[in-house]
Chain A
Amino acid sequence: MAKDNQVLEEITSKEYEHGWTVNLEADESPKGLSEDIVRFISSKKQEPEWLLEWRLKAFRSWQKMVEPKWANVKYPEINYQDIIYYSAPKQKAGPNKLSEVDPELIKTFEKLGISLTEQKRLTGIAVDAVIDSVSVATTFKEKLGELGVIFCSFSEAVREHPELVKKYLGSVVPMNDNYFAALNSAVFSDGSFCYIPKGVRCPMELSTYFRINAANTGQFERTLIVAEEGSYVSYLEGCTAPMRDENQLHAAVVELYAMKDAQIKYSTVQNWYPGDKNGKGGIYNFVTKRGLCAGDHSKISWTQVETGSAITWKYPSCILKGDYSMGEFYSVAVTNNYQQADTGTKMTHIGKNTRSRIVSKGISAGKSQNSYRGQVHVMKRATNSRNFSQCDSLLMGDKCGAHTFPYIDVENSSSKIEHEATTSKIGEDQIFYCLQRGIDEEAAVALIVNGYAKEVLSQLPMEFAVEAQKLLALTLEGSVG
């Protein structure tokens, strides 16, 4: 027992692997937030007037809002005037080709295991890389272009496809949707944009890697994905940040828009710096992700593996507006040491015969707190709708907590909701069984945890699934009841 606990502590205290900084010269805004800063960001990015106006409107809404306090997380007051809202790695005005990208940056991404050099890239994955606030390179652009697929940085989309951006920006997550979304709308600096034309099945995974590098910076990226009628896209998002003593704010917005018969699969492996063993430092991750199944028979799937961040506040949601549309949410959220996660989903059934499926697997270790918060709302006209929710919690050790907050609201009688929840511990018995077969404790925990999360991991594209398994093993391992 005592020894198991010791092993648990040893393993769960593995140092954060991606915790290094790179000396990149940065082009930064002064600290603090005001209309001037919003204007500064917009002008830095040479944005059109309409976008500046949009940002300013968001900023003014934000000023009137209060930070939400309902989540089951505790953190010291965030001083929004002490954050740098814009930091771009310095380089000659926007690289258009990979060959123009700062070699230091390329090295940064190579350390992360992301090769931007196309010849060496992972087969079949187009990558957009965002460092601090700015997108630095998108690979495979030409190949995608032949199919009419647009995959580029948000800034580029504003320049090259303003009509699309204008039409869909804020259409799923309105600029004043919530405190953090409003903040993002005011100061977002970059992100990814992706557009799949009618009937096109995107032939490769599209992927964005986010990294926060500069100190005291917040990262506020925006992702917008539009899938036209009958199209399909699978999109991956990965994140890391260096180790820092201070907490850093990350407030992203992701909007997905699926037309009739379209399908969007959005996968995240979130590995922001979680803070050290004593809870110092780490990323505050306040993210608004929402998908709109606008057309009939459309489908949106969220899959997330959340291992990082000091605080996670995140509820990837689906608005099932089209008849027969479908929303899915598959989540593994791991917390360790002093991490806190309040995550889940919201499924809003508006169309008839809509379906949603929620599979949430929480894993808590150390002194962490892990909460699932989910809402299923079936509106009156959403007749014959179905939801299935499965929320499991796994506890490792006895100093952590797992909480489940399901909210269910059904306004018609022909719909059916099923909710299942379990809480379990990694049993000493399970560990001993593995040990007895020659499997050491670390490998045993990895095996058990990956087994527990299997249903979610199997939703990830292959390359990511392997990475996610390793991450889980690395973040945790070690156990005991």
Chain B
Amino acid sequence: MLTIKNLKAKVEDKLILNGINLQVNAGEIHAIMGPNGSGKSTLASVLAGREDYEVTEGEVQFLGKNLLELDPDVRACEGIFLAFQYPVEIPGVSTVNFMKTALNKIREYRGQPSLDAVAFLQLMKEKMKLVEIDQSLLSRSLNEGFSGGEKKRNEIFQMAMLEPKLSILDETDSGLDIDALRIVANGVNKLRSKNNATIVVTHYQRLLEHIVPDFVHVLYKGKIVKSGGKELALELEAKGYDWIKNEMELV
């Protein structure tokens, strides 16, 4: 589904991604871990098409298309979804209205007719249940005055609504209480299918107990320096990043 080859990206002349290689197939869950500032969010942003980052080398294939050539909104329509580490507020625009606009744009891109109000509402009700989110929250201005946890849950609600092929969850677990973590993880698991894939960026093994990854990668200084199965996360939790840093220094 997603093939990243030797991806390098910089921002303001600072090289942040320094040769990423990654293969994600349909049905898989990949976890990306790594110390603060190692480039995890940058990778997510580059995949989503944020313009602040300049790709200097490498290529990214997504479902047979050259992803780097597509505008960010087209990438979204093609099925890439990013659950933001810091979701932004849009005053005066409710989540309902926002999702209605987004969903219909995506449908339009796919040549499907717009959903009418009734069908939309029905879909919304169904997805609300999935992530156990309250309708009153969805009627409020998007993310405005939402608690940290509510913002994250709202991101997962949006993911459920848009049914992306590749979801990238950037630290969706941070700021969630224990119950919310379970709910969000349940949501992700229920949405999982053999046709979609998920990249989970996280600092904590905790989340990976609920969303069990097929692969765990460690990002360090803009490179994937170690990959393994779910036990790698446990190892990291126990040892911290120093042993990896040391290993790197030795190399």
**Interface of A with B (CB < 8 Å)?**
1, 3-4, 427, 429-430, 432-441, 443, 447-448, 450-455
Cross-chain contact A433 with B84 (CB below 8 angstroms) = yes
Q: List 17 additional contacts besides A437-B158, A439-B73; criterion CB under 8 Å.
A: A430-B89, A432-B50, A432-B72, A434-B90, A434-B102, A435-B49, A436-B49, A437-B105, A438-B102, A438-B105, A438-B106, A447-B97, A448-B90, A451-B90, A451-B141, A452-B91, A452-B92
Residues of A within 8 A of B90 (CB): 430, 433-434, 447-448, 451
Per DSSP, are chain A's interface residues mostly helix, strand or loop, or mixed? helix
CB closest residue in chain A, given B79 = A438
Q: Considering residues A440, A441, A448, A450, which has the most beta carbons from chain B within 10 angstroms of its beta carbon? A: A440
- Please pick, from A1, A3, A427, A438, the residue contacting B88 in the complex, using a CB distance under 8 A: A427
Q: Please, how many angstroms separate the alpha-carbon atoms of A163 and B106 in the complex?
A: 62
Q: Is B162 at the interface (CB under 8 A from chain A)?
A: yes
Q: Please, how many angstroms separate the alpha-carbon atoms of A439 and B108 in the complex?
A: 11
Cross-chain contact A437 with B98 (CB below 8 angstroms) = yes
Residues of A within 8 A of B99 (CB): 437
A222 CB to nearest chain B CB (Å): 35
Cross-chain contact A451 with B106 (CB below 8 angstroms) = no
Residues of B within 8 A of A452 (CB): 91-92
Q: Please, how many angstroms separate the alpha-carbon atoms of A41 and B87 in the complex?
A: 62
Assuming the A-B contacts A1-B51, A4-B51, are A435 and B76 also in contact, with contact meaning beta carbons closer than 8 angstroms in the complex? Answer: yes
Residues of A within 8 A of B158 (CB): 437
Q: Is B82 at the interface (CB under 8 A from chain A)?
A: yes
**Interface of B with A (CB < 8 Å)?**
48-52, 71-73, 75-77, 81-82, 84, 87-93, 97-99, 101-103, 105-106, 109, 141, 158, 162
Assuming the A-B contacts A443-B101, A451-B141, are A436 and B92 also in contact, with contact meaning beta carbons closer than 8 angstroms in the complex? Answer: no
Residues of B within 8 A of A435 (CB): 49, 71-73, 76
Cross-chain contact A451 with B92 (CB below 8 angstroms) = yes
A459 CB to nearest chain B CB (Å): 13
CB closest residue in chain B, given A432 = B50
Cross-chain contact B93 with A451 (CB below 8 angstroms) = yes
Cross-chain contact A433 with B87 (CB below 8 angstroms) = yes
Cross-chain contact B92 with A440 (CB below 8 angstroms) = no
Cross-chain contact A437 with B162 (CB below 8 angstroms) = yes
Q: Considering residues A3, A434, A438, A447, which has the most beta carbons from chain B within 10 angstroms of its beta carbon? A: A438
Q: Please, how many angstroms separate the alpha-carbon atoms of A436 and B158 in the complex?
A: 11
Cross-chain contact B92 with A455 (CB below 8 angstroms) = yes
Assuming the A-B contacts A435-B72, A452-B92, are A440 and B84 also in contact, with contact meaning beta carbons closer than 8 angstroms in the complex? Answer: no
Cross-chain contact A438 with B91 (CB below 8 angstroms) = no
The 6 closest A-B pairs by CB, nearest first: A451-B92, A451-B93, A454-B92, A438-B76, A437-B102, A435-B72
B160 CB to nearest chain A CB (Å): 13
Cross-chain contact A438 with B92 (CB below 8 angstroms) = no
Residues of B within 8 A of A447 (CB): 90, 93, 97-98, 101
Q: Please, how many angstroms separate the alpha-carbon atoms of A261 and B206 in the complex?
A: 64
Cross-chain contact A3 with B73 (CB below 8 angstroms) = no
Residues of A within 8 A of B91 (CB): 451-452
CB closest residue in chain A, given B91 = A451
Q: Please, how many angstroms separate the alpha-carbon atoms of A425 and B162 in the complex?
A: 28
Cross-chain contact A438 with B51 (CB below 8 angstroms) = no
Cross-chain contact A436 with B48 (CB below 8 angstroms) = yes
8 A–B contacts, CB within 8 A, in A order: A430-B89, A434-B73, A435-B72, A436-B82, A438-B106, A439-B105, A451-B93, A454-B93
Cross-chain contact A443 with B92 (CB below 8 angstroms) = no
Q: Please, how many angstroms separate the alpha-carbon atoms of A441 and B87 in the complex?
A: 18
CB closest residue in chain B, given A429 = B88
Cross-chain contact A433 with B141 (CB below 8 angstroms) = no
Residues of B within 8 A of A437 (CB): 76, 98-99, 102, 105, 158, 162
CB closest residue in chain B, given A444 = B73
Q: Please, how many angstroms separate the alpha-carbon atoms of A448 and B91 in the complex?
A: 8
Q: Considering residues B98, B103, B109, which has the most beta carbons from chain A within 10 angstroms of its beta carbon? A: B98
Cross-chain contact B162 with A438 (CB below 8 angstroms) = yes
